[in-house]
Chains A and B, each alone.
Chain A
Amino acid sequence: MKKIGVFVCWCGSNIAATVDVKAVVEACKKEPNVVFAEDYQYICSEIGQNKMADAIRDYKLDGVVICSCSPRMHEATFRKTAEKAGLNPYMIEVANIREQCSWIHKDIEEGTEKAIVLARTAIAKVLLNAPLQAGESKVTKRALVIGGGIAGIQSALDIADAGFEVDIVEKKPSIGGKMSQLDKTFPTLDCSACILTPKMVDVSAHEKINIFAYSEVEAVSGFVGNFTAKIRQKARYVDTAKCTGCRACMEKCPSKKSLNEFNAGLDTRPAIYIPFAQAVPNKATIDPNACIKLKTGKCGICSKVCTAGAIDYEQKDQIIEREYGAIVVATGYNIINLDKFNELGYSDCKDVITSLEFERLTNAAGPTKGHLICPSDGREPKKIVFVQCVGSRGLRPCDKQYCSKICCMYTAKHAMLLREKHPETEVYVFYIDVRTPGKNYDEFYRRAVEQYGVHYIKGQVGKVIEKDGHLEVQASDLLADEQLHIDADLVVLAAAIEADDTARKIGTMLTASMDTNDFFTEAHAKLKPVESPTAGIFLSGMCQGPKDIPDTVAQAGAAAVKVIGLLSKDTLKCNACVASPNENMCNGCSLCATVCPYGAITYVDKEFRIPGGVQVRRVSQVNEAICQGCGACTVACMSGAMDLKGFTNKEIMAEVESICK
């Protein structure tokens, strides 16, 4: 007789408050095959786990049901304990009586009744469970980092330093990302470029790191340890091997009207360009939308001035296929489009700018060489208004509901720097709340207010209109309860940040789950913050949600550590819950293979003994290293020959029967 043990967890009062755990234990004891049932405060604790291991040994249990929190929480813990105690880890079933029961039902009777049903269902399943053995697959010892901002750079460096090959794919001509556009960084006020540039140089110099700049990931297939990515290297029309980065072409290029992305569109650049001085790789790129030669076939000046002969107008996009063991997503962010915020005048008034534009306007390498002027007429602004939470924490359709997290701090930084450089300017900051958690953050903000005399006004800006060459800021002061009209020279909007527009595409490609805001979902909000639920995919930086540079770097490092951990293994335990065909029932019809997303199913001709001889039949075979266990094939299979280990037809039907009892 199969012997089943049942543990019912109190989870402190989390379960015990709305489920009578003793009653669940008693009910389980009555179930056939249950030889042991017990409750305990915290089964996931060491003592709880020891109890479980002891029960497995003492009662020679063939299966264990744990009524506790979600299996997504502790199934792995319980499985490990079972394995240590000599029980196959797949002979464990978790009845989710916390998330699915105690936390959502208020009534003890109702909660207990449901908990019993859930426990009974898990018992019904575990009785049919078979011990499973996970297969193994090899690990390709190379990582792919998607995105070359500070997050990607940090992850790549850490992984490469551990001795693994890393490819960085960056869609722009240079790595560096948003951080390269920043002037100073809070709360220490170091120069952004000064701390980023050495890292970029490290990346370019690192023998283990390969940069695919001006490239995009086109497709990813495979699974953890064995991904294959197709990378599109867009045509730069410049042979990077030859280009010396001398910039002679940039000077001579006759088409200089393109908006300079690096300077947030505040000035222009030539059609052939290197985005900024410290660009890595320091190679020119021709913008095909601006290049006269490429558009009309005439010109070709750059080709003539290039002494290295690097210009190649015939260059084509290249598709490179590379194999990886792990993928780090570091797709970063953008600031939202402010077109929908007409009341703040961003589209109409040149002197209403975003914080990022402000960064460029104050940066020594920026369009104004760091000289702060009003973009409309070049005068020095005397009164500057900062508007917080533009598009963040709002409820309108154009708003993001989340807090963009970094704006409070960078605005304090901007205000402080302004007041330091131009003490004569008046600086106003309109805020909803000032949020400054973080080491030395609140001190930083208080310095802005107390030491630098920045005017912080709790209130919202209703309108910004242009009036006589000035901006009239209409706002409310909530604390003074009065309407304000401020005549400003410059208005700086702390625009909300959003996930990069490529994130969704990449998420789909990687089958990594994303939230409604296109931020990647972590495998667990607290305990697995840098892992995607999809094995082998790790999250670094803003792609997972708004965060500042220190947090980004920390997460990038964490993601790197996870990657290193993965790549340092020679083989990976495969998913044990894989499809498995019963060849005696297999028709060989190939329907399963047509729905398999991984190409895990192949066919062989096999001999079968039939009355009076031998018959050759085509039957399916599953490559267990490739199968991820989705189960699509099991439903496509008519005869039921294809089943999914760990979620067999019989097991699921037993669960159904048990629930409907």
Chain B
Amino acid sequence: MMKISLKNLPELYSFIAKKNDLYLPIFKAGQVDFAKWDKDAIVDLNKLKTTKSAKDVFFPQSQDLVRFEVDGKKISIDEPIMPTNKQVIFGVKACDNRSFELLDMAFVEDYPDTFYEMRRANTTIVTLACAKPDEACFCKAYGIDAADPKGDVSTWIVDGYLHWMPNTDKGIELTTEVKDFFELDMDNSAVENQQSEIRAIIDRLPYSNIDLSKFTPDKLLELFNSPKWKALSEACLGCGTCTFVCPTCQCYDVKDFKTKTGVQRFKCWDSCMFADFTKCAHGNTRPSQMQRYRQRFMHKLVYFPSNHDGVYSCVGCGRCVQKCPQMLNIVKVIKTLGEDK
């Protein structure tokens, strides 16, 4: 393991940023979100949760796909510029790091999303352990260890130092490049102490032991038809807050935009909570907010696991718990539907 004094981090950032697009939790107008670092950026590694998850680094809110030019009856295609830049994302928490694996399942299996795939391949993930988990965290329910965040490199901040441990080849490669900024750290006890502190806190968290056992693919119809969805969803505004702050939500829309000389086709985040999500010329398969609400949670808790070996499409980051305008969230769903035995 290696360590670096926190006050030397800016130099490390600027070194990494020379060869890579470096993404860090950056403070801007009251919020902390992952953003590309530059020398004026205000980095906030202490923020437990960025408002948005880290997914935009791989799956940006909008992604240009292809550009068309139309001339009379003819159409020509401009192939898109692929994201070839090397990227480093620094300060990812265990839950967000885990979300990348879930997104991989969605985006790389079957027809792989080449933009996502390429960004994933070009990116080195430096994670950071959560020193101070909060009441909405329930990563433990999904077997995520916030004290050992994994990724290509794991880091911990203890007593003014950032402790650094590469986990993968990509991590080692990055470590080799930046090793001059670090001092060797033979004593793991500081990190280990923090880890046990973190685990102790997490054990005490109210949602850590939430019961997911009810959510299995074979209960699909039973859960789907539960009468409780109505009351659960009735305050839902149909906004996209939960889906847009969620690290695992992956729905998107494909849209065209007429530019000055052509048509830009792009992909952008969409939300299954939006009223027009499934609306088409023939009608709407999910016309009520209850149905849309149910879809979102059924997807996370039943459909996705059914297609991916029982893995839930939720990492317990608790963003939806804290950000829903009307305080509806997945935990309330899990608890309410999980009650039925």
Contacts and interface: CB of A to CB of B under 8 A. Distances in A.
Query: Within 8 Å by CB, do A and B touch in the complex?
Result: yes
Contacts of B72: 32
A318 to B, nearest CB: 59
Nearest to B73: A32
A611 B260 contact: no
Interface in B59-117: 70, 72
B288 interface: yes
Interface in A97-139: none
A661 B288 contact: no
Interface string A4-26: 00000000000000000000000
Contacts of A610: 287
A480 B260 CA distance: 70
A611 B284 CA distance: 9
Contacts of B284: 611
Contact of B288 (A32, A611, A657): A611
Interface string B219-256: 00000000000000000000000000000000000000
Contact residues of A: prevailing secondary structure: loop
Contacts of A611: 284, 287-288
B260 A661 contact: yes
Contacts of A657: 258
Q: What is the size category of the interface that chain A forms with chain B?
A: under 10
A611 B287 CA distance: 7
Contacts of B288: 611-612
Interface in A647-661: 657, 661
Contact residues of B: prevailing secondary structure: loop
Nearest to B287: A611
Interface in A353-411: none
Interface residues of B, number: 7
A77 to B, nearest CB: 32
B117 to A, nearest CB: 36
B123 to A, nearest CB: 39
A609 B260 CA distance: 41
Nearest to A1: B73
A657 B258 CA distance: 10
A612 B284 CA distance: 12
A611 B292 CA distance: 13
Contacts of B287: 610-611
A453 B260 CA distance: 77
Nearest to B260: A661
Interface string A607-628: 0001110000000000000000
A32 B74 CA distance: 11
Interface in B282-309: 284, 287-288
Interface string A627-661: 00000000000000000000000000000010001
A450 to B, nearest CB: 74
Nearest to A611: B287
B202 to A, nearest CB: 43
A661 B261 CA distance: 8
A284 to B, nearest CB: 75
Contacts of A32: 70, 72
A657 B260 CA distance: 9
Nearest to A31: B72
Contacts of A661: 260
Contacts of B260: 661
A32 B263 CA distance: 15
A610 B260 CA distance: 40
Nearest to B261: A661
A584 B258 CA distance: 27
A32 B258 CA distance: 15
Contacts of B70: 32
Nearest to A657: B258
Interface string A546-586: 00000000000000000000000000000000000000000
Nearest to A661: B260
Nearest to A660: B260
A601 B72 CA distance: 43
Nearest to A30: B72
A611 B279 CA distance: 12
A459 B258 CA distance: 69
Contacts of A612: 288
A598 B70 CA distance: 45
B93 to A, nearest CB: 40
Question: Which of A610, A611, A657 counts the most B-chain CB atoms under 10 A from its CB?
Answer: A611
A546 B287 CA distance: 69
Nearest to A612: B288
A402 B166 CA distance: 92
A610 B287 CA distance: 9
A32 B72 CA distance: 6
A32 B71 CA distance: 8
Interface string B252-289: 00000010100000000000000000000000100110
Nearest to A610: B287
A354 B332 CA distance: 94
A610 B284 CA distance: 11
A375 B35 CA distance: 94
A32 B284 CA distance: 34
B293 to A, nearest CB: 14
A580 B151 CA distance: 59
B281 to A, nearest CB: 14
B128 to A, nearest CB: 46
A76 B287 CA distance: 47
Contacts of B258: 657
Nearest to B284: A611
Nearest to B70: A32
Nearest to B286: A611
Interface string B172-197: 00000000000000000000000000
Interface string A593-612: 00000000000000000111
B274 to A, nearest CB: 16
B57 to A, nearest CB: 34
Nearest to A33: B72
A655 to B, nearest CB: 15
A610 B288 CA distance: 10
A16 B288 CA distance: 61
A656 to B, nearest CB: 13
A316 to B, nearest CB: 61
B188 to A, nearest CB: 59
A612 B290 CA distance: 13
A140 to B, nearest CB: 47
A612 B288 CA distance: 10
A59 to B, nearest CB: 17
A388 to B, nearest CB: 63
A439 to B, nearest CB: 62
Nearest to A32: B72
A26 to B, nearest CB: 14
B76 to A, nearest CB: 15
B248 to A, nearest CB: 29
B320 to A, nearest CB: 26
B157 to A, nearest CB: 49
A610 B70 CA distance: 39
Interface string A33-44: 000000000000
A2 to B, nearest CB: 14
A549 to B, nearest CB: 63
A610 B72 CA distance: 41
B3 to A, nearest CB: 57
A612 B230 CA distance: 14
B282 to A, nearest CB: 13
B294 to A, nearest CB: 14
Nearest to B258: A657
B169 to A, nearest CB: 51
A612 B70 CA distance: 43
9 contacts: A32-B70, A32-B72, A610-B287, A611-B284, A611-B287, A611-B288, A612-B288, A657-B258, A661-B260
Interface of A: 32, 610-612, 657, 661
Given A32-B72, A611-B288, A661-B260, 5 more contacts: A32-B70, A610-B287, A611-B287, A612-B288, A657-B258
Give 6 nearest A-B pairs by CB, closest first. Answer: A611-B287, A611-B288, A661-B260, A32-B72, A611-B284, A612-B288
